[in-house]
Amino acid sequence: MIMTMAIFSCKKDDVKPSFFIVGKWSGKHGDTVPDTYYGLVFQSGGVLQRIAASGTVGATGTWNYSGNTLTGTYTFDNGTVVSLKATFDPATGKLNGTYGYGSDTSGEAVFFLTRD
């Protein structure tokens, strides 16, 4: 009986913490190879901010995370709309995705982000 309790109590240590999207994420983006700074802030309530390397907010919008898929849209002051789609890779801790203009979630760039 003691042996059984020891085995099951060790199993609890294997439980990984839940994944939370809320927070600042930064990485790279590019046409086919991510090579330029890319930063997003996911706020509670579904608010999304695109941030520059300096930390200034360049665009705002909304996000949703369901299952293992992140979707979002943000709009720059000049009216340019960007839509994105990404998946979270628990092995690397990265969001990997694509974005496009308007309602297209691909066609313009690929990106990866890690939580800061």
Gap between the Cα atoms of 71 and 27, Å rounded:
17
Gap between the Cα atoms of 113 and 72, Å rounded:
14
pLDDT at 84 over 50: yes
The sign of the dihedral angle between the CA atoms of 56, 48, 108, 32 is: positive
pLDDT in tens, 93-102: 999 999 999 9
Residue 67 confidence (pLDDT):
87
Superfamily the domain 19-115 falls into: Quinohemoprotein amine dehydrogenase alpha subunit, domain 2 (2.40.128.120)
- Tokens, residue 8: 């099951």
Query: Tokens 């995705």 map to which residue?
Result: 97
- Tokens, residue 7: 């085995």
pLDDT in tens, 19-47: 689 999 999 999 999 999 999 999 999 99
What does pLDDT average to over the chain? 88
pTM: 0.83
Gap between the Cα atoms of 42 and 111, Å rounded:
16
